[in-house]
């Protein structure tokens, strides 16, 4: 087979298009709204840290080292609808009587 025959055969090949894969979504999913369950206990406090992944994790470690909240008390890191932004939530039970609660 010479070059001309090879080239003619190659140009005669039609491009093949693959059918769309139903498992691969081309459009991104819309962000799910963050819904907090209602709290009937007035002594429950929620603290939400929102920012970049390193900033939020550093804040959690800072509160842990300050003996304010153990790092295991925080939720897992959750992405927000904003690109590159994450959040973690802490739920603490805070007594309403000042004598029962000592600040560090």
Residues present in the chain in total:
104
Q: What are phi and psi of 40, to 5 degrees?
A: -90, -15
Among positive and negative, which fits the CA dihedral 60, 61, 66, 69? positive
Please give the C-alpha separations between residue 101 and each of 61, 63, 76, in angstroms, as whole numbers.
22, 17, 27
Contact at 8 Å (CB) between 87 and 59?
no
Contact at 8 Å (CB) between 73 and 88?
no
Nearest to 87 by CA among 59, 50, 54: 50
Instruction: Render pLDDT for 2-35 as a digit per residue (tens, 0 to 9).
Output: 655 655 555 555 666 666 666 665 666 666 666 6
User: Bigger pLDDT: 77 or 27?
Assistant: 77
pLDDT at 95: 73
- Three-state DSSP state, 97: coil
Average of per-residue pLDDT across 44-67: 94
Asked if pLDDT for residue 77 goes beyond 90, the answer is yes
């Amino acid at each position: 087979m010479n070059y001309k025959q090879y080239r003619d055969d190659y140009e005669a090949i039609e491009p093949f298009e693959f059918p769309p894969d139903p498992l691969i979504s081309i459009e991104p999913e819309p962000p799910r709204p963050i819904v907090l369950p209602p709290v009937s206990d007035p002594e429950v406090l929620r603290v939400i840290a929102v920012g970049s992944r390193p900033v939020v994790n550093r804040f959690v470690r800072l509160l842990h080292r300050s003996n304010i909240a153990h790092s295991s008390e925080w939720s897992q890191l959750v992405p927000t609808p904003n690109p590159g932004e994450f959040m973690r939530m802490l739920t603490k039970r805070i007594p309403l009587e000042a004598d029962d609660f000592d600040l560090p």
